[in-house]
Chain A
Amino acid sequence: GNSVTQMEGPVTLSEEAFLTINCTYTATGYPSLFWYVQYPGEGLQLLLKATKADDKGSNKGFEATYRKETTSFHLEKGSVQVSDSAVYFCALSSRSNDYKLSFGAGTTVTVRA
């Protein structure tokens, strides 16, 4: 079945630091890959996605590249801000799994001023 393994946190950074959150996956077929973000007290919202190998998703300064050869979708941001403090979830969806979204455990990121 499908599964997502995500770097465990929590991660604490200073403002303007570089952020990487590792994500690897196991899936049959050709999944679509997503990063969702959850700000305190809110539901999840889509941050970025990639739907085929070598696609790069980007949004709000975050990037992630769909690497089929390493089954990875690592999230990166070059210079974080306090407002980036949130929980980040890697997820995948595939036809072979009835379109269900499978989530990683989530990584809590705290950015200090």
Chain B
Amino acid sequence: NAGVTQTPKFQVLKTGQSMTLQCAQDMNHEYMSWYRQDPGMGLRLIHYSVGAGITDQGEVPNGYNVSRSTTEDFPLRLLSAAPSQTSVYFCASRDGTVNTEAFFGQGTRLTVV
């Protein structure tokens, strides 16, 4: 059981470039989400999905797109990278109930120069 797998682990982008952060889970979880972690701000929700074909915005969605074509995959796209998007990104999954734990990937450290 791999859990939640994120790729890449590290990435450097130039301002204006686009890229996709990959996230895959093998636990058949309905609920997947993307967070960014910045010093002193905890984890902030970017986008989330409650099932295949369904996505919604979190707290800080601007500059990011997501799609959920399968239960397993939930990629995050940066449309035109900006230095303000320098951060550590985490993907998480959980089943569709309020009491269960979320499982996190190892994170992607993104630097935009």
Which residue numbers of A lie inside 8 Å of B, CB to CB? Answer: 4, 6, 31-32, 34, 36, 42-46, 49, 51, 89, 93-95, 98-101, 103-106
Contact = CB atoms under 8 A, between A and B. Distances in A.
Contacts of B97: 99
Contact of B98 (A44, A95, A105, A106): A95
Nearest to A8: B40
Given A32-B98, A32-B99, A98 B50 contact: yes
Nearest to B101: A46
Contacts of A43: 4, 90, 104-107
Instruction: Find the residue from A31, A34, A49, A103 having the highest chain B CB count within 10 A.
Output: A103
Given A43-B90, A43-B107, A44-B90, A101 B102 contact: yes
29 contacts: A6-B42, A31-B98, A34-B101, A36-B102, A43-B4, A43-B90, A43-B104, A43-B105, A43-B106, A46-B101, A46-B102, A49-B101, A89-B43, A94-B98, A95-B98, A98-B50, A99-B94, A99-B97, A99-B98, A100-B48, A101-B33, A103-B42, A103-B43, A103-B44, A104-B42, A105-B40, A105-B41, A105-B42, A106-B43
Instruction: Find the residue from A101, A103, A105, A106 having the highest chain B CB count within 10 A.
Output: A101
A105 B42 CA distance: 4
B58 interface: yes
B89 to A, nearest CB: 11
A43 B33 CA distance: 14
Contacts of B4: 43
B74 interface: no
A99 B56 CA distance: 13
